[in-house]
Amino acid sequence: MHPDPRPLVLSLAGITKRFGPLVANDAIDLDVRAGEIVALLGENGAGKTTLMSILFGHYVADEGEVFVAGADGRLAPLPGGSAEAALQAGIGMVHQHFALAENLTGLENILLGTMPLWKLSLGRRAARARIEALMVESGLQADIDTPVGRLSVGEQQRIEILKALYRNVRVLILDEPTAVLTPQEADGLFATVRRLAEKGLAVIFISHKLHEVLALCERVVVLRGGAKVADRPTAGADRAMLAELMIGRAIPARERVPGAPGAAVLRLAGVYVGRPGERDRLEHAGLEVRSGEIVGIAGVSGNGQGALAALVAGLAAARAGRVEIAGEAVTGADPLARLRAGVGRIPEDRHRDGTIGGLTIAENYVLETIGAPENQRGGLVRRAEIRARASAAIKAYDVRCPGPDAAIRSLSGGNMQKVVLARVLERAPKLVLAHQPTRGLDIGATTDVHRRLLAARARGAGVLLISEDLDELFALSDRIAVIHAGHLSAAMPTDGLDVRTVGLMMAGHGLEDAA
């Protein structure tokens, strides 16, 4: 083995951070060289965020030090506890949730914080020239004259990266950058990142999507339970191996077992939702989900999935056409009526729609059924009864929490989703709407959600799975339909279906023929 000739730009030595009895980072070493793309892989709670927060001065390490290369290439210790020092040392980070002022243009966002307070003019012309040069150099094209709130998510992300580049970063940290992107946009991002790395930028890529790590990064560092468990080249590694390193046990590969479909539980015929001008709408949609099968909906985000989910969940009504749930025609937008018709709904955004942060786990567990006799008597909430059942559900669904009286906002995303699953599936719904059920979850939690959906199917429920993750759709669905610009294709059997075909249909090709 030849030693790597590229100079070190960042070196973390023996970083340890404790929160009370919890060791969030346990003597972690991490070296990053110029031009290197390193993956930082780990489940939620593995210590990725803590490590990066120490690098950024949000936390101070209990032990260990951070060294950053200065302008002369020599490593010097970075003072802890100062975000300013990290920025000045050339460390930049693009967070999963962007830090952009939505009412300012891209140009203004990039300049934000780089100008001294006493300067009256922003020096826009010079700045624009530099940004445009950066765009050419990096291949990151973005509209910098429109308020960023009106830009697509992909474009906002490009502006975030430009913002970092404008500050002359030498180490760029990308935190789950593809979580918000379509597959095509993700490919574009990877090309950009590679190009930036070729020019000498060091990139730390935080992710839990294994195929992305393997495709993009040359080295992968795996954290588990706060400790570094692997630091190796991606060459020669495969997904099963990384997954095992990440969660500490082997994940059994699951063969797709076909379901046993019965009678239709959801039938759409010629359904229109939303106004014609809107992007997220349904146009003459037809679909059938039968009991005992999972029907997947593939599509680039914002092509009508929201309208479809809202229709099934009871938040929106069909403007025209016929909607049948379990054989009964439904009209109007009434979530309660959908619940009574036997629909279990797993919403896309569990923080916004799925849970009420300030209420307890037990209260969230009975949110949809609080009026039912098992939860109230004469208008009084049966608290002991509810706590007992919530405790049972916590056990059955393996929710990691202090107990049924903990505020649900204190739970991690995966555990929060388990509470939602318990609420939805315990009622044995005839139709399950699962809208992006694993978004933002780690492998362990994702596997769990998949297992639960398959169990619901085995029990005889029909599942409508709306997802942007093609792997997930192909792994679970019996049939897959593609949605594009409000048009829904016919559902095609997953067996014999080609990912490429679906990808083309997601881009709008051949949808008319299929439909």
Partner 1 sequence: MIRFVPRERTPVWLSLAVSIGAGCAALLLTMIPLALSGAPVFSAFALMAEGAAGSGFALAETLTRATPLIFTGLAAAVAFRAKLWNIGAEGQLYAGALAAVAIGAGAITAPPYLLVPLVLIGAAAAGAMLLLLPVLFKTRFGADEVVVTLLMNFVVLLFVQMMLEGPMKDEMALGWPQSAPLVDEATLPKLFEGLRLHSGLILALACAVGLHVFITRTVWGFRIRAVGENARAARYAGLPVGLSMALVGAISGGLAGLAGASEVAGLKGYLTADLSPGFGYAGIVVATLANLSPLGVVPAAIFVAGVFVGADSMSRAIGVSNYLADLVVSFALLCVLVGGLVTRFRIVYVRRSAA
Q: Which residues bind partner 1 (CB under 8 A)?
A: 59-61, 65, 77-82, 313-315, 334-336, 338-339, 345, 347, 352-359, 363, 367-368, 370-371, 375-376, 379-381, 383, 406-407, 409-410
Least separation in angstroms between residue 229's CB and partner 1 is: 27
- The span from the CA of 12 to the CA of 204, in Å, is 13
Least separation in angstroms between residue 351's CB and partner 1 is: 8
Give the nearer residue to partner 1 in terms of CB position, either 141 or 410: 410
Least separation in angstroms between residue 163's CB and partner 1 is: 25
Contact of 206 with 246, CB cutoff 8 Å: no
Least separation in angstroms between residue 63's CB and partner 1 is: 10
Least separation in angstroms between residue 141's CB and partner 1 is: 35
Give the nearer residue to partner 1 in terms of CB position, either 208 or 350: 350
Least separation in angstroms between residue 357's CB and partner 1 is: 6
The string of DSSP letters for 310-352 reads: HHHHTSS--SEEEEEETTEE--S--HHHHHHTTEEEE-S-III
Give the nearer residue to partner 1 in terms of CB position, either 279 or 383: 383
Structure tokens at 215: 């495709």
Segment (H or E) for 11: strand 8-19
Structure tokens at 158: 């490009």
Give the nearer residue to partner 1 in terms of CB position, either 386 or 454: 386
- 486 phi/psi in degrees, rounded to 5: 85, -10
How many angstroms separate the Cα of 25 from the Cα of each of 50, 70, 420, 441, 450?
7, 26, 30, 21, 30
Give the nearer residue to partner 1 in terms of CB position, either 435 or 484: 435
Structure tokens at 472: 């997930």
Least separation in angstroms between residue 301's CB and partner 1 is: 19
Nearest to 204 by CA among 356, 18, 61, 68: 68
Give the nearer residue to partner 1 in terms of CB position, either 78 or 434: 78
Least separation in angstroms between residue 99's CB and partner 1 is: 18
**125 C-beta neighbours (distance < 10 Å), count:** 9
* CB contact set of 439 (below 8 Å; sequence gap of 6+): 179, 348, 468
* CB contact set of 86 (below 8 Å; sequence gap of 6+): 55, 56, 57, 78
Q: Where are the alpha helices (DSSP H) in 25-100?
A: 48-55, 83-88
Give the nearer residue to partner 1 in terms of CB position, either 340 or 509: 340
| Helices and strands in the chain, H and E counts | 17, 23
Give the nearer residue to partner 1 in terms of CB position, either 206 or 433: 433
